[in-house]
């Protein structure tokens, strides 16, 4: 009876029943008046019963929402009756379950963000500390040859920090959706050759052979970002190869996808590290001392944004093969 509309409805119904009783009694007789009184009272009782039942269900739903908003576990809704309230109950359960899942995802994202920030801080702290020490040495060093050596080392640390920061910014922009990967035609051979070009001098110095077997077909992709992805994979391969090794790149085009295979005969990846190599900041057993663990993560993020995929096969002591597919239609 706390609902004003409900109270008003009952009062109006009582007034109408009484008026019907009096009218029937005066116009027809006491028997007709009593019949109208009993019929109206019965109808009012049925109305009150079902209305109270409906309000009870609404109160139950309200209590359910209060529990959900308080952060309690989302209880199952057992009632499967038909009707508007049942549909409302089911939709509320779906919404509550979705909110719970989103909250769990947010908590997971917060944990991952905290871990990522800790990793970034660690990666930046190491070269910064090294540069601060070298800077102090430079202030007191009088030997010109040693000063040049310290400056070269400091320059290398700056290059490493710059690469780390730029790569992190690229991943962050891709994750935030602020970068839209374009769809443009590019020749497979040009993509591969441009991705290899920055490493030619390094491979020549280390006597690493580069074998290319690339078809002349043209594919649809974002040219610059695809090259970025390939460069990070090639960089990873070279870093894990001994001098005198061989890097092989094959590329062709099919009706369903464009395929690029990058192989090296380096140290390989241990089986326990293989499932994690595309995770950010993951460094396996055979990772170099200057490895950060984000290059392959960036490559995977780019290729997935182009409706592609990257997989890897590796055998320790034999080498590693990366298999890239960029699909022509979304699968």
User: If DSSP codes are grouped into helix, strand and coil, which group holds residue 322?
Assistant: strand
Asked if the structure places residue 107 within a domain, the reply is no
Asked if the structure places residue 166 within a domain, the reply is yes
Do 65 and 158 have their domain in common? Answer: no
CB-based contact 200:165 (threshold 8 Å): no
Rounded to an integer, the average pLDDT of 164-171 is 79
pLDDT at position 33 over 60: yes
Do 192 and 269 have their domain in common? Answer: yes
Q: What is the pLDDT of residues 111-167, one digit of tens each?
A: 766 766 776 776 677 778 878 888 888 887 788 888 888 788 888 778 778 877 887
Which pTM was predicted? 0.61
Do 10 and 136 have their domain in common? Answer: no
User: For the chain, what is the domain count?
Assistant: 3
CA distances from 87 to 79, 83, 90, 107 (A): 10, 6, 5, 30
Closest CA to 225 of 175, 277, 172, 180: 180
CB-based contact 307:256 (threshold 8 Å): no
Q: What is the pLDDT of residues 44-94, one digit of tens each?
A: 888 888 878 777 777 877 777 777 777 666 656 555 555 666 777 777 777
Closest CA to 121 of 292, 300, 298: 292
Asked if the structure places residue 105 within a domain, the reply is no
Contacts of 195 (CB under 8 A, 6+ apart): 227, 230, 231, 234
Strand ranges of the sheet holding 257-264, from the earlier edge strand across to the other edge:
209-214, 246-253, 257-264, 319-327, 308-315
Q: What is the pLDDT of residues 259-281, one digit of tens each?
A: 899 999 988 888 888 888 888 77
Asked if the structure places residue 282 within a domain, the reply is yes
| Averaged pLDDT of the chain | 81
Do 201 and 259 have their domain in common? Answer: yes
Q: Which of 58-62, 127-131, 239-243, 327-331 has the lowest mean pLDDT?
A: 327-331
211: its two tokens: 């074998």
Domain boundary among 176, 197, 216: 176
**Domain membership of residue 154 as a residue range:** 117-176
Do 221 and 136 have their domain in common? Answer: no
Do 63 and 152 have their domain in common? Answer: no
CATH number of the domain residue 171 falls in: 1.10.287
């Amino acid at each position: 009876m706390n609902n004003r509309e409900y109270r008003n409805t009952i009062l109006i119904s009582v007034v109408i029943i009484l008026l019907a009783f009096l009218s029937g009694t005066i116009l027809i007789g006491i028997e007709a008046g009593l019949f109208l009184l009993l019929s109206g009272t019965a109808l009012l009782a049925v109305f009150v019963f079902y209305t109270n039942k409906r309000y009870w269900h609404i109160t139950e739903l309200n209590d359910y929402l209060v529990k959900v908003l308080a952060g309690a576990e989302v209880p199952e809704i057992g009632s499967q009756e038909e009707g508007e309230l049942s549909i409302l109950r089911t939709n509320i359960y779906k919404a509550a379950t979705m909110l719970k899942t989103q909250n769990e995802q947010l908590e997971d994202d917060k944990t991952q963000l905290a871990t990522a920030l800790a990793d970034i801080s660690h990666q930046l702290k190491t070269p910064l500390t090294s540069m601060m020490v070298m800077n102090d040495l430079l202030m007191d060093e009088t030997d010109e040859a040693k000063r040049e050596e310290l400056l070269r080392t400091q320059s290398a640390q700056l290059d490493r920090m710059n690469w780390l920061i730029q790569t992190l910014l690229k991943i962050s922009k891709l994750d935030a959706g602020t970068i839209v990967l374009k769809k443009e035609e590019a020749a497979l051979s040009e993509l591969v050759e441009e991705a290899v070009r920055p490493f030619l001098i390094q491979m020549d110095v280390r006597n690493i052979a580069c074998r290319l077997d690339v078809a002349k077909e043209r594919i649809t992709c974002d040219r610059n970002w695809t090259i970025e992805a390939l460069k990070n994979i090639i960089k990873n391969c070279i870093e894990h190869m001994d001098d005198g090794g061989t890097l092989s790149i094959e590329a062709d085009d099919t009706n369903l996808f464009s395929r690029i295979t990058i192989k090296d005969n380096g140290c390989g990846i241990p089986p326990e590290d293989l499932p994690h190599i595309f995770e950010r900041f993951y460094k396996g057993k055979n990772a170099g001392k200057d490895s950060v663990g984000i290059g392959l993560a960036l490559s995977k993020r780019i290729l997935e944004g182009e409706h592609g995929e990257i997989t890897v096969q590796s055998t320790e002591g034999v080498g590693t093969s990366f298999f890239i597919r960029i699909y022509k239609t979304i699968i």
